[in-house]
Amino acid sequence: MRNNERLVLLDKDAVESLLKADDVLEAVREAFVLHSQREGRVFQVVRERLSTGGVFGIKSGDVQTQSLLGFKAAGFWPTNRQSGGEPHQATIMLINPATGRPICVIDGNAVTTMRTGAAGGLGLMQLARPDSTRVCVFGSGVQARVQLTFALRLMPSLKRVQYVTVNGEKDEAFESQFRSYCDIRLAEDRNGAVTDSDIVITATPGAGALFDLDAVRPGTHFNCVGADTKGKRELPDGLLERVRLVVDDRIQASEIGETQWAPKTEMIELGDLLTGNAHFDRQPGDITVFDMTGLALQDLTVARMLRDRATEANVGTSIAWPW
């Protein structure tokens, strides 16, 4: 009976109780594979600036063979900091593709954070030199922390971390989170930190180039997170023309990612590397870039995993949703 249908709500506490790094890694890997195999579709991204100073976006997609359909409404509201709130906000909705009715609504903040960290980790495993030991992180916020967490988790060879903050000041909370896993310190000079690192992670609001082109040495890998809207960037002019470029989605990266600044650059999708549809023979002197704009499929596969875990654990709120 239609009137017996219910809507599952997973709030922040429910999501955080269910979200496990290994589960998210598996779900994100599946998303990339589905994208490569063209079983999963990503629809055109909505990304618009608001008069309130915020940025609002919608990422949506489906996997028709798995009856998976949905979207994430998300964005960035910097004024939230004034009231002690998180500026990044996201809500995910799963929809029954046969009826169009919503079946699950999920607080997407932690999902977005962790699935992006997992994507970065998968990029490192595919692209960074296996003998990498030194990392430079631009940013010390939520996304910088999760990127570094997955990097240290998946590449135990990493021993030394330098980080750059927006104000140039030490972030004790950031350091304390990682001090037991690596030698971590504030970078004295951002260009010097890039030159001295095997891996560079850029996780900033994307307001402009973070370092000079001549600071980049052969063999460096870059995980780029901050460019997710037209006009945003973190890399200097001329770098993309010198690199081997990997993206999560060609069209999306060329429109809103770091790749928007050099859209004719030859590129490979990460999913194709994971499935073997493309091959990558990294040479020691190659400079590599993974341009992450975030796939809707990542949100959907992680959301489905959370819905399933919630059902098993009887977590969340189920409300009548008749029609």
pTM of the model: 0.95
Helix axes 296-313, 21-36, angle to 10 degrees: 140
Amino acid of residue 244: R
Nearest alpha carbon to residue 116 among 232, 28, 36: 28
Nearest alpha carbon to residue 143 among 203, 229, 219, 207: 203
Distance of alpha carbon 271 from alpha carbon 281, whole angstroms? 16
Query: Would you state the pLDDT for residue 1?
Result: 56
| C-alpha to C-alpha distances, 288 to 20, 44, 128, 271, 275, nearest whole angstrom | 29, 26, 8, 16, 19
Distance of alpha carbon 71 from alpha carbon 139, whole angstroms? 28
Distance of alpha carbon 214 from alpha carbon 39, whole angstroms? 41
How many C-beta neighbours within 10 Å does residue 266 have? Answer: 7
Q: Which stretches of the chain score pLDDT less than 50?
A: none
Distance of alpha carbon 193 from alpha carbon 161, whole angstroms? 9
Q: For the chain, which domains are there?
A: 2-111+297-320 (3.30.1780.10), 116-294 (3.40.50.720)
- Residue 230's contacts (CB-CB under 8 Å, 6 or more residues apart) are 47, 255, 256, 260
- Residue 160's contacts (CB-CB under 8 Å, 6 or more residues apart) are 133, 134, 135, 182, 183, 184
2-56: per-residue pLDDT in tens?
Answer: 678 999 999 999 999 999 999 999 999 999 999 999 999 999 999 999 999 899 9
